[in-house]
Amino acid sequence: MKKISIIALALFFSAGICKAQNNTDSVNTNEEKAFHLSAATAYASRLHYYGRTDSLKSSALIPTLIIQAGKQFSITPSFIFINNNQASFDYAATTINATYSFGKQKGIAGTIYGDKFFYKDASKLVQSVQQGQAGFTLSYLNNIINISSGASAAFSKSNTDIFATAGVDHQFKKVVGENVFLVTPAAAANAGTQNFTTSYYKKNNFLFLPGNEELVTENNKKFTLLSYDLNLSMIYAIKRFIFNVTPGYVIPQNVQTVSNSEKASNLFYCNAGLIYKIVK
């Protein structure tokens, strides 16, 4: 089980800023353009992995390039820089996300995506064994409440982790001239596989004769609920610029406490992003 995932954070921002751009574009035109290019920068006040954190209270800066071919396919490279009391926005990794989107503004919609991860040499990121991931999302969009779900698999040389999510949200939109305001409260439950090791002493007895104690180590893997997440996405768009601020509150579940293997507690966080449309 990874204690903290900068990769997951980068992918979250990649999906979030692409969604923000698509939502604001749909206010002004329904014309499908062949090519869009945007530059974005995201900042996370606190890195966490479903509420699990490191002891350094790390934050991250994530510059991103959004390349869209029409309204359905996008490629999003992101560059991750971490900041804590031992690192001052040091480069950590690069991710490349490819996403195919389908569906309309109302009814069934979804995405199919794949990601590849590249780490700097001798990376100290605890999730650096992950080489990539693939997944999908499905949503039912309507005027009352949007219902969404998704699943993904994260790949490494020795293991594959499976994740699933389900959530609800509702979007409030207001357009004043060239100004677009989007506010989206959301709630989600997240589940996934946990990998952990249990060690204990086993006494080997033969009939009534006392035996020796043997240290037994067992590797365990189970699929379980990982967290509940509440957040409020606030987007303001004008002309070529999109501003996004998303405060949130995560409640971790089923934390592994054996030998203090995971550090976790209810956590408030705030993510922010800025998108500039280079080619509209």
| Nearest residue to 68 via CA among 237, 279, 240 | 279
Match 């920068």 to its residue by tokens: 41
> For 10-27, what is the mean pLDDT?
55
Least confident of 167-171, 259-263, 268-272: 259-263
Q: Which of 13-22, 82-91, 190-199, 216-225 has the highest mean pLDDT?
A: 82-91
Residue 258 lies in a domain: yes
Residue 17 lies in a domain: yes
Task: In whole angstroms, give the CA distance from residue 163 to residue 121.
Answer: 28
Per-residue pLDDT tens digits for 37-90:
999 998 988 888 888 877 778 888 999 998 988 778 989 999 988 888 888 888
Give the tokens for residue 96: 């490349």
The total number of structural domains that make up the chain: 1
Torsion of Cα atoms, 79 then 70 then 17 then 109, to 10°: -120
Task: Write the CATH number for 241.
Answer: 2.40.160.40
pLDDT of residue 228 exceeding 50, the answer is: yes
Residue 126 lies in a domain: yes
Residue 135 lies in a domain: yes
| Nearest residue to 80 via CA among 102, 65, 95, 99 | 95
Q: Which residue has the higher pLDDT, 221 or 103?
A: 103
Q: Binning pLDDT at 50, 70 and 90, where does residue 3 land? A: very low
pLDDT at position 4 is 40
Residue 1 lies in a domain: no
Give CA separation, 247 vs 19, 46, 219, 244, 270, in Å: 17, 11, 37, 10, 4
Task: In whole angstroms, give the CA distance from residue 177 to residue 171.
Answer: 19
Give the tokens for residue 92: 């950590």
pLDDT at position 123 is 55
Asked if residues 27 and 260 have their Cβ atoms less than 8 Å apart, the reply is no
- Mean pLDDT value across the chain: 80
Per-residue pLDDT tens digits for 161-215:
899 999 999 999 999 998 999 999 999 999 998 765 555 455 666 555 556 666 5
Residue 252 lies in a domain: yes
| Residue range(s) defining the domain that contains residue 203 | 6-279
pLDDT at position 18 is 58
Helices (H), the chain: 6-28
Asked if residues 105 and 23 have their Cβ atoms less than 8 Å apart, the reply is no
Residue 26 lies in a domain: yes
Residue 83 lies in a domain: yes
Per-residue pLDDT tens digits for 104-157:
778 999 999 998 988 876 555 545 567 888 999 999 999 899 999 999 998 887
Q: What pTM value is reported for the model?
A: 0.80
Task: In whole angstroms, give the CA distance from residue 57 to residue 53.
Answer: 7
Task: In whole angstroms, give the CA distance from residue 194 to residue 220.
Answer: 8
Contacts of 210 (CB under 8 A, 6+ apart): none
Task: In whole angstroms, give the CA distance from residue 156 to residue 137.
Answer: 22
pLDDT of residue 268 exceeding 80, the answer is: yes
Task: In whole angstroms, give the CA distance from residue 256 to residue 261.
Answer: 6
Asked if residues 228 and 187 have their Cβ atoms less than 8 Å apart, the reply is yes
The burial of 8, by beta-carbon neighbours within 10 Å (0-12 exposed, 13-18 middle, 19 or more buried), is given as: buried
> For 7-20, what is the mean pLDDT?
53
